[in-house]
A and B are shown apart, each in its own frame.
Chain A
């Protein structure tokens, strides 16, 4: 890219899928409220939250409706005001019916004390401990996709110290633009959120990694960051999967997370830009996590858009607002094309982890015919973790799970690079996932 010499990136493997960032210049719009929403109690990694409301209760926006179900868990808040109509199992993006709290909307009545204005509040008044407990209370989780509760990440185990915070503004998935828009429109808030996380971790340095296909966001945040000591923007070479935690850490700090370890083992904590924004809203504006930015996109969609969406609103509403479901749609994917999850119905609620909705036409939904492996080695050359996907698939297919484990199948981050590169259209990642789940089950049985 012009103007930036020697862009940093991760050293091994990676691919360059077409960007298709067709919604990149669409400003974030507020999505119209529906009549009812269903808010799943399990929107995060870890134990589901426990409902504390019952049918016919009247709730306000921002009110806790389900309490954290353990340490690795988090509160769920009402994203709308109205009457709780039922607490029942509802199909969510996982394809399973799981517990959700359904609210019939009545007005938009926020809980007292929540600042819904757009004024930017810069001064951070809370202490380290207060910030962490505030974030825990407000249900903040990692919004990059893993939805890991933030308070766990911000409380390193005994003996582990973070020395640097990395903010993930990579958004390497094709099509998605939610983080891009957020950096452009809420840059100041993202930086204040970053400062808050730095304070909670007690680190003095933060790097915001952004790929060189988002030059406007790079310029905007770099200019703003001049007023924030310790925060700097690093331009990264466009390469998938740079937004994956391990790849981002290596691109920005040249450190490798040891096998079986966590980023904190090398003194790093990674948070997404969306999370930084949510942290700002929680700590500075007293606003729990009740909404997020979602990209709705697809080659045949009329109006690809970025919406600010209250959690629990059905995906079908988002599609309607973006111009309706095109006739030839074959797949609705929650997330991006590389790692997203295909939905079996659009009538599932948006949750904390929904970064985008991608519509794929019928033609492009079909996989190619599976041919013999021609040992071209593309999967192994491009795997960012140095695995040999063709070998792992062979081992799993033949039931050699121990050997697959020795070949570090569990280290696979499921980025999909192998399947993308395979000229024979082999279902490499499907078999790797199968192997991982069988091996994980065996490990659980053993312990």
Chain B
């Protein structure tokens, strides 16, 4: 036998095909249908915001790793791109460029890298960036370009209110829901995405397609999306059943705002969600509850971002109490 040195390591000596970058690129692929719809609805504005957000997120991660942490940059893993794309999806298409960069900085530098980078952040970075922008620049963050009409405008497009803000304003002025509905886009428009809103949140259909892809690739499991959407439907349904003239119906609640974007792409972020099926369902249902509470009783028309961030904080607690069922703890049984 040759005297060549053999490699000795502990088992297992083989590994699966999964990798962190495969997961991240799968998420990017899954976001593509929604991106295409946003291009159709908001045109150049959506493209501009998306490119700036992705580029600045990747750049901030690179600069911080290279010059501050002095480690090998890991921008190829795709996670910064996912953060950039999700941040872009969560802002209006006419947001000034420098605000996008500020949001990217908050997302990457503060929400992600300061905790130790990918895997260590307790809160979803894109949502932290979004909420920072939302509370800092409320006017810019809530002026929604009218879909399709404004496709070829980069900034200063004609703006309109989102369905949720129409409802919020209307209910505040004691207008009944049956009357409000006449001012709202049809459910079909909501489903296909013909409404004002953040870049990526408008088309339920496109987001669901991405979700099916992620389920097929086993990047996410059904628990969080189903629990969260079900939670929104359940709690808004209870209120609606109680007084349909004062509260919007559950179908409206799940089709508007960021429910689908949040349920499929934001709440399912592995790093900031629970690990067991039981934990995921609790997490999802509570996000649904908080979303409804903020929408109905809170000051803001939309509550998905806040709801997810609030529940992110409970993830360690949920993980502590929702353990997988361990082998060997059942009573001895004979079949």
Q: Which residues of A contact B (CB under 8 A)?
A: 12, 15, 17, 95, 174, 246, 253-261, 265-267, 316, 319, 325, 329-333, 335, 337-347, 358, 360, 362, 364-368, 371-378, 380-381, 383-388, 390, 408, 411, 414, 416, 419-425, 427, 429-430, 433
Contact = CB atoms under 8 A, between A and B. Distances in A.
22 contacts: A246-B327, A255-B334, A330-B7, A331-B9, A343-B8, A344-B6, A346-B1, A347-B1, A372-B117, A373-B119, A374-B270, A375-B272, A375-B275, A380-B275, A388-B275, A388-B323, A416-B11, A416-B12, A419-B11, A423-B20, A423-B23, A425-B19
A383 B324 contact: yes
A319 B1 CA distance: 10
A421 B15 CA distance: 7
Contacts of B120: 372
Contacts of A267: 334
Interface string B186-201: 0000000000000000
Contacts of B183: none
B6 A330 contact: yes
A388 B271 CA distance: 15
Given A265-B332, A344-B6, A367-B9, A377 B275 contact: yes
Nearest to B24: A374
Contact of B18 (A325, A358, A423, A429): A423
Given A255-B335, A258-B328, A339 B20 contact: no
DSSP majority for the A interface? Answer: loop
Contacts of B4: 329
B181 interface: no
Given A347-B1, A374-B271, A424-B20, A419 B15 contact: yes
B333 A255 contact: yes
Contacts of B272: 375
A308 to B, nearest CB: 22
Given A365-B7, A384-B327, 6 more contacts: A255-B335, A329-B4, A339-B12, A371-B119, A385-B327, A429-B10
B182 interface: no
Residue from B2, B8, B327, B334 having most chain A Cβ neighbours under 10 A: B327
B135 interface: no
A267 B332 CA distance: 10
B276 A380 contact: yes
Nearest to B9: A342
A365 B335 CA distance: 44
Closest 9 CB pairs of A and B: A416-B12, A372-B119, A259-B328, A377-B275, A423-B18, A386-B326, A337-B14, A385-B327, A342-B8
A316 B1 contact: yes
A375 B13 contact: no
Contact of A254 (B16, B22, B116, B335): B335
Nearest to A20: B14
Contacts of B29: none
A325 B13 contact: no
A294 B271 CA distance: 44
Given A17-B16, A254-B335, A372-B119, A12 B328 contact: no
A12 B6 CA distance: 36
